[in-house]
Amino acid sequence: MITSFGMDFVDTFMVLYNVGAAFILIFMIGQILIMMRKVDKELLRARLFLNNSIIQKTWIYISIAGASFALNNVFKFIINFMSEGEILNVYHLADLAQMVFLISFILGVQNWYEFIGSFKSRKVIEMFN
């Protein structure tokens, strides 16, 4: 039996969601770091220069994550220090901003994971030709 220690559904969901997102991020960033050791750095720079979409997508994801992080902190400040904060707390706007942050950060890391992963598959193909 799972005990939520007095938390409501949204609080329990957010804790489980944060743990899942943390595992995904740790795994993907670890894989990127391992793959980066095998990547030719000059080829990486050349492909980044030629493929502008990687940088643009990453910029969009990180901008959304940064804005969500800022909103999350503003919402938490309002919830904790202002009388209007109860309205934000009822609608779980701080939790929603946190979810948007995690989703956009994961998408940004996934973008780089796929980009770096494409180098690995090309090196294997070149070895067999």
How far, in Å, CA of 70 to CA of 126, rounded? 45
Helix, strand, coil % in the chain, rounded to nearest 5: 85, 0, 15
How far, in Å, CA of 23 to CA of 81, rounded? 32
Structure confidence by residue, pLDDT tens digits, 47-79: 888 888 999 999 999 999 999 999 999 999 999
Cut 0.75: pTM above it = yes
How far, in Å, CA of 17 to CA of 11, rounded? 10
Domain ranges of the chain: 9-128
Model confidence at 110: pLDDT above 80 = yes
Residues of 31-60 as b/e, b for ≥16 C-beta within 10 angstroms? ebeebeeebeeeeeeebeeeeeebeebbee
